[in-house]
A and B are shown apart, each in its own frame.
Chain A
Amino acid sequence: MTLTLDPRTVAPGTELPPVVKGPVDRDMLKAYAAASGDPNPMHTDDEFARNAGYPGVFAHGMLAMGWLGQLLVAAGGVGSVRKFRTRFAKITWPGETITCRGRVTAVHDADGERLVDCDIWTENEKGERKLVGSAVLAFPRR
């Protein structure tokens, strides 16, 4: 796949091409629950979620983190991701369309590699940030 980030020209402020997911629906949550082996009914059983005090089921934090992983690999390629962290700040709800975004904060060269630090986040249609975090992408220096 063609990389969306050019390591020769990348600089602080460079935006990663966004990845859009959704609208989130219950089938996506069921598929992720099965594939990830997460048995928590909070994400698949509306009645269970309501009994726990929520309006209904909501997305696994790790599903949305997986979407951010797609953003990073699209930008830097498989094997470029060295560090990847997120905080699950707000809940992702069914019906929301989620945009994954990233912005370069620093670029430095070390041990024959170009290391690119990024802020990353997901946001809904209203611009509310759900997951916020950071990542380091590594590119071979040519």
Chain B
Amino acid sequence: MIVGERKPLLELKGFIEDYRKVLIVGCGTCATVCFAGGESEVKVLGSALRIAFLREGKEREILEDCVTRQCEPEFVDKVTQRVADEKIEAVLSLACGVGVNFVAEKLEEVPVFPGINTKFFGATVEPGVWVEMCAGCGNCILHLTGGICPVARCSKSILNGPCGGSSDGKCEISPDVDCAWALIIKRMKKLGTLDHLSKMIEPRDWSTSLHGGPRRVVHEELKPVQAGREQD
């Protein structure tokens, strides 16, 4: 899932300093699961901000809400409706960057501030610890590397690793970071396919990733249909 971390409290306070009526909106999917911006974190943030403003003697209305996902129009409509109904001046979104983008687009004239630093696509390796595993490169080669992604998990995204900096199974940048290639070799040994690595993997076409420009996926059959008219 998408993993992020809440921005420092004072930074967030700075975003909303000048607005009297602010709505904090959480996201019930990824942000909840990585403890960055679910309903519970919305409450904590709301409480902390209210305490901070109280301390300065400033009157602020800090409202709280949470929707299932902020990347879905129907769910975001609830937010836009509330913003309009209650004349909310600013929104602080605790969703990932996608949610902030999306909500900001729907609200247009009300500023939407990011509450989270979105970090990566990752998995829970142990309770409370999430690790990056996918780079969203658009052309998955996990079948070549035993299921371990060298693009996301090698600091240099080397496709013919390991480099000379690998030491004791750890990456040269930090002893806390596993060397992805050490993992790949170990895995492919277990799979009995280590000899596949003797062949060089060719230079990659990066145009399927962000380097090729912002991407889009379309499922034609899901596009809205008008009854009685054939779509071509």
Pairing of A with B: no
> Which A residues contact B (CB, under 8 angstroms)?
none
Interface residues, chain B, CB within 8 Å of chain A? none
